[in-house]
């Protein structure tokens, strides 16, 4: 049986709950400015973006619509393959909409580059990306994410929505998973 005490599974905290809250507030002020006078549709990528979406959407001092997509990147473990499948599609018609994709993390960039291209075929007015985290060293494709919370080192992180084998999503901080857990 899995242990309920996760402290021994982590090798350190990268960003605390308070830091994340502060950074999300800064991003929200930018988003409010950039989308002033225009509609805004937030699209959260399940399941990792649930926490970012919840906090970002409530911090925004304006009206937004929200929808969700679930995609699965073939490949197990801690590596993304770039072959993406839609597990749950949007309910929303994107014609003429200003879409902001809300993601937990840009790692290789393969998932987001596929997703942005897919959404772009649906006739939106614009498609931008907001990711809480980005690993610059891991980028396989250039991703133009307009809003990025934190640049982080190339380590496997969990918490604040991010999982390893579906665990650790409910940790309030973003922490590095101790390598002995997955190797
Ligand atoms: P990418 O396609 O950019 O390589 O990443 C796709 C997905 O892999 C991310 O949306 C995220 O769900 C997962 N991922 C990438 N890096 C990490 C990480 O450090 N920790 C966790 N928990 N998931 C990650
Ligand atoms: Mg994700
Ligand atoms: Mg995951």
Instruction: Tell which one of 162, 163, 179 to mutate to probe ligand 1, the residue whose CB is within 8 A of the most ligand atoms.
Output: 162
pTM of the model: 0.94
- ipTM above threshold 0.85: yes
Binding pocket residue ranges, ligand 1, CB within 6 Å: 48, 73, 80, 103-112, 156-158, 162-164
Which of 4, 37, 58, 16 minimizes the C-alpha distance to 149? 16
Q: Taking phi first (over 0 means left), then psi (-120 to 50 degrees means alpha), and beta for anything else, what does residue 160 get?
A: left
79-101 per-position pLDDT tens digit: 666 778 999 999 999 999 999 99
Nearest ligand (C-alpha, residue 158)? 1
Domain 17-154 fold = Rossmann fold (3.40.50)
Distance of alpha carbon 6 from alpha carbon 47, whole angstroms: 20
| Catalytic annotation present for 107 | yes
Q: What is the mean pLDDT of residues 139-149?
A: 90
Residues bordering ligand 2, an ion, CB closer than 5 Å? 45, 48, 104
Q: How far is CA 167 from the centre of its chain?
A: 16
Span from the CA of 156 to the centroid of ligand 1 (angstroms): 8
| For the CA of 158, the nearest atom of ligand 1 | 22
50-86 per-position pLDDT tens digit: 999 999 999 999 999 999 999 987 665 556 667 789 9
The number of residues making up the chain comes to 183
Distance of alpha carbon 9 from alpha carbon 5, whole angstroms: 8
pLDDT at position 175 over 60: yes
Please report, for the chain, the start and end positions of each structural domain, with discontinuous segments joined by +. 17-154
Q: What is the mean pLDDT of residues 127-155?
A: 92
- Check residue 116 and give its pLDDT: 96
Residue tagged active-site, from 34, 107, 144, 173: 107
- Check residue 5 and give its pLDDT: 83
Nearest ligand (C-alpha, residue 50)? 2
Query: In sequence order, what are the residues at sequence separation of 6 or more whose Cβ sits closer than 8 angstroms to the Cβ of residue 3?
Result: 9
Higher-confidence position of 105 and 77: 105
| For the CA of 109, the nearest atom of ligand 1 | 3
Share of the chain above pLDDT 70, in %: 94
- Check residue 31 and give its pLDDT: 98
Which of 19, 90, 100 minimizes the C-alpha distance to 53? 100
Span from the CA of 35 to the centroid of ligand 1 (angstroms): 27
> Helices marked H in 38-109 — which ranges?
50-59
- Check residue 161 and give its pLDDT: 98
Higher-confidence position of 81 and 33: 33
């Amino acid at each position: 049986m899995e242990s309920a005490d996760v402290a021994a599974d982590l090798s350190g905290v990268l960003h605390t709950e308070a830091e994340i809250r502060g950074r999300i507030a800064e991003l929200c002020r930018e988003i409010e400015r950039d989308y002033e006078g225009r509609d805004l549709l937030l699209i959260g990528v399940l399941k990792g973006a649930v926490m970012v979406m919840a906090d970002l959407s409530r911090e925004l001092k304006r009206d937004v619509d929200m929808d969700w997509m679930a995609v699965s990147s073939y490949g197990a473990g801690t590596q993304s393959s770039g072959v993406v499948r839609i597990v749950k599609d949007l309910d929303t018609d994107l014609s003429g909409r200003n879409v902001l994709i809300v993601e937990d993390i840009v790692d290789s960039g393969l998932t987001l580059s596929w997703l942005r291209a897919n959404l772009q075929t649906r006739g939106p007015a614009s498609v931008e990306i907001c990711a809480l985290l980005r690993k610059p060293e891991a980028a396989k494709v250039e991703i133009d994410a307009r809003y990025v919370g934190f640049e982080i080192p190339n380590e496997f992180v969990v918490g604040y929505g991010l999982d390893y084998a579906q665990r650790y999503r409910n940790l309030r901080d973003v922490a590095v998973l101790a390598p002995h857990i997955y190797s």
